[in-house]
Amino acid sequence: MTERTTGRTVLLRGGVVHSPADPFATALAVTGDRVAWVGSEAAADALAPTADETVDLAGALVTPAFTDAHVHTTAAGLALTGLDLGGAPALAAALERVRAHAAASAPGAVLTGHGWDSTAWPGQRPPTRAELDAAAEGRPLYLSRVDAHSALVTTALLDLVPGARHLPGYDPEGPLTGDAHHAVRRAADAALAPAQRADAQRAARARAAALGIGTLHECAGPDISSEEDLASLLALAADEPGPRVVGYWAGLVTSAKEAEAVRDLGAVGAAGDLFADGSLGSHTAHLREPYADAPHTGTAHLGPEEIAAHVTACTEAGLQAGFHAIGDAAVTAVTDGFLAAAERLGTARVRALRHRVEHAEFLTDAALAVFADLALTASVQPAFDAAWGGPDGMYARRLGPGRAARLNPFAALLRAGVPLAFGSDAPVTPLDPWGALRAAAHHRTPAHRIAVRAAFTAHTRGGWRAAGRDDGGVLVPGAPADYAVWRTGDLVVQAPDDRVARWSTDPRSGTPGLPALDPGSPLPVCLRTVVAGRTVYERPNE
């Protein structure tokens, strides 16, 4: 969203302002689209006569707005407005949702849905194509798995995609993966009417704003959405109030001309979901050793040479590069590629572009060292561990408990000095920033837990830094006026475990407090979200 400076001054006072500029601040002044001042009630008295508006916070907490560093906006909106199979308890319930959606949809439309996960269903099997054909009344239907790396489709949709039955990843009965999946996903995206696409994008941005999210990193690409989708989203975000949208395009770049084409799309990087592999849930993440529940090691989409060529071309063009990598073999291929690029161009040039890796779930010690050495941003999703971690979770079924316990090592990444940016990968997991902080602080593997304040930084300032900006995600004078106001309980300074020195959690240390995020406790309620000084959400009757 384009920032606008109006010169109008708003003074917020009588609350708690989370700011490193003053850990005891109770007031905040915003002029135009920038933070002008942070301080105490006594100083606010002097500012009040000249403010154009004064807001009584009534004890509410003010924080920087969150940044969700990995989102698929249209898909997230479609899940909000249409067919969402998330939480379906069994196969029969999922099929009933499909039937109801088909009956309520306009004749002739291609149906889309998201979120099925048969691992939790009795029998653990997805619907057959014949069952889906019947439930969808013979209509074209694209139904992505919860991880979005495989999909179920009806016969009618396959008939719209010539050659899909002959592509790698095609299955005559089960979920499609790989090239076959990408082909039917492109067909489903192309079938969206412009109004349906815009409605979905508005729904996702509205949900984000209501959760105190001020910025979304849209991870678009030829295998996951379309140029049309990215262009329409960026145009909508520029024209309508709501969270900012930072666009990424997951296209391979091998020349300056291709790098310029990425910029022409409005993207800030050739990154995001540029797939080095797939996902653990779909058995397509690329592993060094076979899955515990399947006799193979997943799928490699890119090798070190292709990765090195992409990083080299992007770096020479001054364009941020990045990849999707989940399995240990895929992450190693990515780090090997970055090392090769650094050998050609020099470490300093590679570090300067703040290249990023999405998910980075299964890191070897050697890969982690490369992340630290080359200043690669780890764009990670704590909700993945909350959903699939633990000794009885999907990760343990796919990898066995030993390997599963190594996933999502947030504490090790922080100790190594790796920049973190938190996101949701919505619609894979819901937009839920405070839930993500809780998931990081209460990681199912205790050794990977981090302090809430470190998680908060990763979900606010970390997202701005991941997009190449150092001025946002923090409430200090001169910063963009992106903030959220919260109703919450007592504020505390939480440590991940007893190894942290107790002085750091003592109020006398001057460390700004944050809401208590103990499991089961209520999460903060967003009262207002402001982006570039403009209110984009206000809770009704508050």
**Whether pLDDT at 119 is above 50:** yes
d(C-alpha 158, C-alpha 138), whole Å: 12
Question: What pLDDT score does 1 carry?
Answer: 34
Strand 61-64 relative to strand 16-17, pairing: parallel
Torsional sign, CA 156, 157, 162, 168: negative
pLDDT tier at 155, thresholds 50, 70, 90: very high
Residue 147 amino acid letter: D
d(C-alpha 251, C-alpha 319), whole Å: 12
d(C-alpha 503, C-alpha 525), whole Å: 29
Can you tell me whether residue 43 is helix, strand or coil?
helix
Two tokens at 180? 């076959």
**Whether pLDDT at 507 is above 80:** no
Q: pLDDT digit string (tens) for 294-341?
A: 999 999 999 999 999 999 999 999 999 999 999 999 999 999 999 999
CB atoms within 10 A of CB 27: 27
Question: Which whole number is the average pLDDT over 52-74?
Answer: 97
d(C-alpha 415, C-alpha 447), whole Å: 12
Question: Which whole number is the average pLDDT over 437-456?
Answer: 97
Between residues 504 and 251, which one has the greater pLDDT?
A: 251
d(C-alpha 399, C-alpha 223), whole Å: 26
Can you tell me whether residue 314 is helix, strand or coil?
helix
Two tokens at 53? 């508006």
The answer, yes or no, to whether the previous bond of 427 is cis (omega within 30 of 0) is yes
d(C-alpha 218, C-alpha 443), whole Å: 26
d(C-alpha 155, C-alpha 160), whole Å: 9
Question: Which whole number is the average pLDDT over 106-111?
Answer: 84
**Whether pLDDT at 274 is above 50:** yes
Residue owning tokens 């890969």: 367
Question: What pLDDT score does 152 carry?
Answer: 94
**Whether pLDDT at 428 is above 90:** yes
**Whether pLDDT at 258 is above 70:** yes
Q: pLDDT digit string (tens) for 67-105?
A: 999 999 999 999 998 899 988 999 999 999 999 999 998
Angle 142-194-216 from CA coordinates, rounded to 5° = 80
Two tokens at 64? 């920087």
**Whether pLDDT at 3 is above 50:** no
Q: Which of 74-83, 453-462, 506-515, 528-537 has the lowest mean pLDDT?
A: 506-515
Query: What's the mean pLDDT when you consider all of the chain?
Result: 93
Q: Which helix (H) or strand (E) holds 465?
A: helix 461-466
d(C-alpha 297, C-alpha 400), whole Å: 14
Residue owning tokens 């066995």: 400
Question: What pLDDT score does 260 carry?
Answer: 98
d(C-alpha 157, C-alpha 154), whole Å: 5
Strand 61-64 relative to strand 53-56, pairing: unpaired
Question: What pLDDT score does 106 carry?
Answer: 84
- Among 479, 461, 519, 459, which residue's Cα sits nearest to residue 208? 459
Between residues 184 and 7, which one has the greater pLDDT?
A: 184
pLDDT tier at 25, thresholds 50, 70, 90: very high
**Whether pLDDT at 508 is above 50:** no
Question: Which whole number is the average pLDDT over 214-243?
Answer: 96
Question: What pLDDT score does 2 carry?
Answer: 39
Question: Which whole number is the average pLDDT over 467-471?
Answer: 96
CB atoms within 10 A of CB 317: 20
pLDDT tier at 509, thresholds 50, 70, 90: low
- The answer to whether the beta carbons of residues 177 and 278 sit under 8 Å apart is yes
Give the contacts of 90 (CB within 8 A, at least 6 positions apart). Answer: 121, 122
Residue 161 amino acid letter: V
- The answer to whether the beta carbons of residues 27 and 35 sit under 8 Å apart is no
pLDDT tier at 504, thresholds 50, 70, 90: very low
d(C-alpha 20, C-alpha 10), whole Å: 20
Alpha helix locations (H) across 105-154?
A: 129-135
